[in-house]
Structure 1
Protein backbone atom coordinates (compact mmCIF):
# COMPACT_ATOMS: atom_id res chain seq x y z
CA UNK A 1 0.00 0.00 0.00
CA UNK A 2 2.88 2.36 0.73
CA UNK A 3 3.68 2.55 -2.97
CA UNK A 4 0.40 4.39 -3.74
CA UNK A 5 -0.53 8.04 -3.47
CA UNK A 6 -2.14 8.75 -0.14
CA UNK A 7 -0.01 6.12 1.59
CA UNK A 8 3.41 7.65 0.90
CA UNK A 9 3.98 6.69 -2.73
CA UNK A 10 3.45 8.41 -6.04
CA UNK A 11 1.34 6.17 -8.31
CA UNK A 12 -2.40 6.92 -8.24
CA UNK A 13 -4.81 4.48 -6.64
CA UNK A 14 -5.13 1.30 -8.70
CA UNK A 15 -8.36 0.83 -10.62
CA UNK A 16 -8.61 -2.81 -11.63
CA UNK A 17 -11.04 -5.37 -10.27
CA UNK A 18 -8.21 -7.43 -8.77
CA UNK A 19 -8.72 -8.06 -5.05
CA UNK A 20 -5.46 -6.33 -4.08
CA UNK A 21 -6.42 -3.19 -6.00
CA UNK A 22 -9.89 -3.12 -4.48
CA UNK A 23 -8.33 -3.53 -1.01
CA UNK A 24 -6.02 -0.54 -1.58
CA UNK A 25 -8.94 1.62 -2.73
CA UNK A 26 -11.11 0.56 0.24
CA UNK A 27 -8.24 1.29 2.65
CA UNK A 28 -7.77 4.71 1.10
CA UNK A 29 -11.44 5.65 1.44
CA UNK A 30 -11.87 4.23 4.95
CA UNK A 31 -8.89 6.29 6.08
CA UNK A 32 -10.61 9.42 4.79
CA UNK A 33 -14.11 8.97 6.18
CA UNK A 34 -15.27 11.84 8.34
CA UNK A 35 -16.15 11.03 11.96
CA UNK A 36 -19.71 9.74 12.24
CA UNK A 37 -22.01 11.36 14.76
CA UNK A 38 -24.44 8.41 14.91
CA UNK A 39 -24.19 4.64 14.37
CA UNK A 40 -26.49 4.95 11.35
CA UNK A 41 -24.12 7.42 9.69
CA UNK A 42 -21.16 5.19 10.48
CA UNK A 43 -22.93 2.23 8.87
CA UNK A 44 -23.80 4.31 5.80
CA UNK A 45 -20.21 5.55 5.46
CA UNK A 46 -18.74 2.06 5.73
CA UNK A 47 -21.27 0.60 3.31
CA UNK A 48 -20.40 3.34 0.80
CA UNK A 49 -16.77 2.23 0.88
CA UNK A 50 -17.70 -1.46 0.64
CA UNK A 51 -19.97 -0.81 -2.32
CA UNK A 52 -17.19 1.17 -3.98
CA UNK A 53 -14.79 -1.77 -3.61
CA UNK A 54 -17.32 -4.50 -4.45
CA UNK A 55 -16.92 -6.59 -7.58
CA UNK A 56 -19.97 -5.79 -9.75
CA UNK A 57 -22.09 -8.40 -11.45
CA UNK A 58 -20.78 -9.72 -14.69
CA UNK A 59 -20.03 -12.80 -16.68
CA UNK A 60 -17.30 -14.87 -15.00
CA UNK A 61 -13.99 -14.80 -16.84
CA UNK A 62 -12.61 -18.35 -17.20
CA UNK A 63 -9.09 -16.90 -17.36
CA UNK A 64 -9.60 -15.22 -13.94
CA UNK A 65 -11.63 -17.65 -11.81
CA UNK A 66 -10.51 -15.98 -8.58
CA UNK A 67 -12.55 -12.87 -9.40
CA UNK A 68 -16.25 -13.26 -8.80
CA UNK A 69 -19.17 -10.96 -8.04
CA UNK A 70 -19.61 -9.59 -4.53
CA UNK A 71 -22.73 -11.22 -3.08
CA UNK A 72 -22.80 -9.91 0.53
CA UNK A 73 -21.63 -6.93 2.51
CA UNK A 74 -21.74 -7.19 6.29
CA UNK A 75 -21.19 -4.89 9.25
CA UNK A 76 -20.58 -6.00 12.81
CA UNK A 77 -21.07 -3.25 15.40
CA UNK A 78 -19.61 -4.80 18.54
CA UNK A 79 -20.24 -1.70 20.64
CA UNK A 80 -23.99 -1.63 20.01
CA UNK A 81 -24.45 -5.35 19.33
CA UNK A 82 -25.81 -4.98 15.81
CA UNK A 83 -25.05 -7.26 12.87
CA UNK A 84 -26.12 -5.74 9.55
CA UNK A 85 -25.95 -7.18 6.09
CA UNK A 86 -27.04 -6.47 2.58
CA UNK A 87 -27.36 -8.74 -0.39
CA UNK A 88 -26.26 -7.65 -3.82
CA UNK A 89 -29.57 -9.06 -5.02
CA UNK A 90 -31.64 -6.63 -2.93
CA UNK A 91 -31.59 -2.85 -2.47
CA UNK A 92 -32.47 -3.24 1.22
CA UNK A 93 -30.31 -3.52 4.34
CA UNK A 94 -31.31 -5.82 7.17
CA UNK A 95 -29.95 -6.11 10.67
CA UNK A 96 -30.24 -8.07 13.86
CA UNK A 97 -29.77 -6.79 17.38
CA UNK A 98 -27.68 -9.50 18.98
CA UNK A 99 -29.13 -8.96 22.47
CA UNK A 100 -32.56 -9.94 21.09
CA UNK A 101 -31.42 -13.37 19.89
CA UNK A 102 -31.65 -16.56 21.91
CA UNK A 103 -28.26 -18.20 21.41
CA UNK A 104 -29.35 -21.27 23.38
CA UNK A 105 -31.45 -22.48 20.46
CA UNK A 106 -30.58 -22.95 16.82
CA UNK A 107 -32.37 -20.61 14.44
CA UNK A 108 -32.13 -19.59 10.82
CA UNK A 109 -33.18 -16.63 8.74
CA UNK A 110 -34.45 -17.28 5.23
CA UNK A 111 -32.64 -14.62 3.23
CA UNK A 112 -34.38 -15.56 0.00
CA UNK A 113 -37.66 -14.03 1.20
CA UNK A 114 -38.49 -10.91 -0.81
CA UNK A 115 -39.03 -7.71 1.10
CA UNK A 116 -36.69 -8.28 4.06
CA UNK A 117 -35.94 -4.84 5.40
CA UNK A 118 -34.72 -3.34 8.65
CA UNK A 119 -34.61 -5.22 11.94
CA UNK A 120 -35.24 -8.90 11.19
CA UNK A 121 -34.72 -10.24 14.71
CA UNK A 122 -38.29 -11.56 14.84
CA UNK A 123 -37.95 -13.36 11.48
CA UNK A 124 -35.63 -16.14 12.69
CA UNK A 125 -37.18 -19.61 12.68
CA UNK A 126 -36.25 -22.59 14.88
CA UNK A 127 -34.13 -25.19 13.13
CA UNK A 128 -32.01 -28.21 13.92
CA UNK A 129 -28.39 -27.45 14.80
CA UNK A 130 -25.70 -28.21 12.25
CA UNK A 131 -24.12 -31.62 12.45
CA UNK A 132 -20.39 -31.31 12.11
CA UNK A 133 -18.42 -34.01 10.36
CA UNK A 134 -15.94 -35.78 12.57
CA UNK A 135 -12.39 -36.37 11.43
Structure 2
Protein backbone atom coordinates (compact mmCIF):
# COMPACT_ATOMS: atom_id res chain seq x y z
CA UNK A 1 0.00 0.00 0.00
CA UNK A 2 3.00 2.34 0.36
CA UNK A 3 3.66 4.83 -2.40
CA UNK A 4 7.01 6.01 -1.08
CA UNK A 5 9.15 7.62 -3.75
CA UNK A 6 10.78 10.02 -1.37
CA UNK A 7 13.94 11.84 -0.51
CA UNK A 8 13.00 11.60 3.14
CA UNK A 9 15.21 9.16 5.01
CA UNK A 10 12.83 6.58 6.50
CA UNK A 11 14.84 5.65 9.54
CA UNK A 12 13.51 3.14 12.02
CA UNK A 13 13.13 6.04 14.46
CA UNK A 14 10.94 7.98 12.01
CA UNK A 15 8.82 4.92 11.25
CA UNK A 16 8.33 4.34 14.99
CA UNK A 17 7.37 8.02 15.43
CA UNK A 18 4.71 7.76 12.70
CA UNK A 19 3.35 4.47 14.02
CA UNK A 20 3.13 5.84 17.56
CA UNK A 21 1.48 9.11 16.55
CA UNK A 22 -0.97 7.69 13.99
CA UNK A 23 -1.68 4.50 15.92
CA UNK A 24 -1.24 2.54 12.68
CA UNK A 25 1.35 0.25 11.15
CA UNK A 26 3.67 2.01 8.71
CA UNK A 27 2.86 -0.66 6.11
CA UNK A 28 -0.76 0.58 6.02
CA UNK A 29 0.20 4.21 5.38
CA UNK A 30 0.60 5.91 2.01
CA UNK A 31 2.92 8.86 1.54
CA UNK A 32 2.59 11.57 -1.10
CA UNK A 33 4.99 14.48 -1.59
CA UNK A 34 3.21 17.84 -1.48
CA UNK A 35 4.17 21.10 -3.15
CA UNK A 36 6.32 23.16 -0.82
CA UNK A 37 6.38 26.78 0.13
CA UNK A 38 9.27 29.20 -0.28
CA UNK A 39 11.18 27.67 2.63
CA UNK A 40 13.54 24.69 2.72
CA UNK A 41 10.86 22.60 4.43
CA UNK A 42 9.39 19.56 2.69
CA UNK A 43 5.81 18.37 3.13
CA UNK A 44 4.38 14.86 2.85
CA UNK A 45 0.74 13.78 3.05
CA UNK A 46 0.44 10.68 5.19
CA UNK A 47 -2.83 8.81 4.54
CA UNK A 48 -4.46 5.76 6.03
CA UNK A 49 -7.66 3.84 5.71
CA UNK A 50 -8.66 3.09 9.27
CA UNK A 51 -10.44 -0.13 10.34
CA UNK A 52 -13.70 1.85 10.36
CA UNK A 53 -13.02 2.55 6.64
CA UNK A 54 -12.72 6.26 7.30
CA UNK A 55 -9.78 7.93 5.59
CA UNK A 56 -7.42 9.90 7.80
CA UNK A 57 -4.74 12.30 6.57
CA UNK A 58 -1.86 14.08 8.26
CA UNK A 59 0.91 16.28 6.93
CA UNK A 60 4.49 15.48 7.88
CA UNK A 61 6.60 18.63 7.80
CA UNK A 62 10.28 17.84 7.28
CA UNK A 63 13.06 20.28 8.12
CA UNK A 64 16.52 20.20 9.62
CA UNK A 65 16.67 18.68 13.11
CA UNK A 66 16.29 21.37 15.75
CA UNK A 67 17.02 21.62 19.42
CA UNK A 68 14.70 21.96 22.36
CA UNK A 69 12.87 23.99 23.42
CA UNK A 70 10.38 23.31 20.64
CA UNK A 71 8.88 26.77 21.01
CA UNK A 72 12.08 28.22 19.50
CA UNK A 73 11.34 26.60 16.12
CA UNK A 74 9.97 29.33 13.75
CA UNK A 75 7.02 27.25 12.44
CA UNK A 76 5.83 26.64 15.99
CA UNK A 77 6.41 30.29 16.97
CA UNK A 78 4.28 31.55 14.09
CA UNK A 79 1.59 28.93 14.71
CA UNK A 80 1.42 29.90 18.40
CA UNK A 81 1.27 33.61 17.54
CA UNK A 82 -1.56 33.12 15.02
CA UNK A 83 -3.53 30.99 17.49
CA UNK A 84 -3.42 33.86 20.00
CA UNK A 85 -5.39 35.88 17.43
CA UNK A 86 -7.75 32.97 16.76
CA UNK A 87 -6.47 32.39 13.22
CA UNK A 88 -7.27 28.83 12.13
CA UNK A 89 -3.92 27.14 11.57
CA UNK A 90 -3.05 23.44 11.30
CA UNK A 91 -3.04 21.70 14.68
CA UNK A 92 0.35 20.26 15.62
CA UNK A 93 -0.18 16.64 16.71
CA UNK A 94 3.42 15.72 17.44
CA UNK A 95 6.96 17.06 17.19
CA UNK A 96 10.24 15.16 16.95
CA UNK A 97 13.00 17.81 17.10
CA UNK A 98 15.85 15.31 16.74
CA UNK A 99 14.27 14.01 13.51
CA UNK A 100 13.35 17.48 12.26
CA UNK A 101 9.69 16.55 11.76
CA UNK A 102 6.26 17.75 12.84
CA UNK A 103 3.03 15.85 12.29
CA UNK A 104 0.29 18.40 11.64
CA UNK A 105 -3.34 18.63 10.63
CA UNK A 106 -4.04 18.26 6.91
CA UNK A 107 -6.15 21.16 5.58
CA UNK A 108 -6.41 19.56 2.12
CA UNK A 109 -5.39 20.94 -1.25
CA UNK A 110 -7.58 24.05 -1.55
CA UNK A 111 -5.40 26.98 -0.59
CA UNK A 112 -6.82 30.45 -0.13
CA UNK A 113 -4.87 31.47 -3.22
CA UNK A 114 -6.51 28.73 -5.35
CA UNK A 115 -10.01 29.54 -4.10
CA UNK A 116 -9.71 33.27 -4.80
CA UNK A 117 -7.64 33.13 -8.00
CA UNK A 118 -10.50 33.88 -10.42
CA UNK A 119 -12.45 36.28 -8.23
CA UNK A 120 -12.61 40.05 -8.32
CA UNK A 121 -10.86 41.98 -5.52
CA UNK A 122 -14.24 42.65 -3.90
CA UNK A 123 -15.15 38.95 -4.00
CA UNK A 124 -11.83 37.62 -2.75
CA UNK A 125 -11.66 40.23 0.01
CA UNK A 126 -14.56 38.38 1.64
CA UNK A 127 -12.53 35.15 1.75
CA UNK A 128 -9.50 36.85 3.28
CA UNK A 129 -11.73 38.40 5.92
CA UNK A 130 -13.31 35.02 6.70
CA UNK A 131 -9.86 33.39 6.93
CA UNK A 132 -8.77 35.92 9.54
CA UNK A 133 -12.08 36.36 11.37
Q: TM-score, normalised by structure 1?
A: 0.27
**Which structure has the higher relative contact order (CA within 8 Å, separation 6+)?**
2
Task: Give the strand-richer structure, 1 or 2.
Answer: 2
Answer with 1 or 2: which has the greater Rg: 1
Q: TM-score, normalised by structure 2?
A: 0.27
Task: Give the helix-richer structure, 1 or 2.
Answer: 2
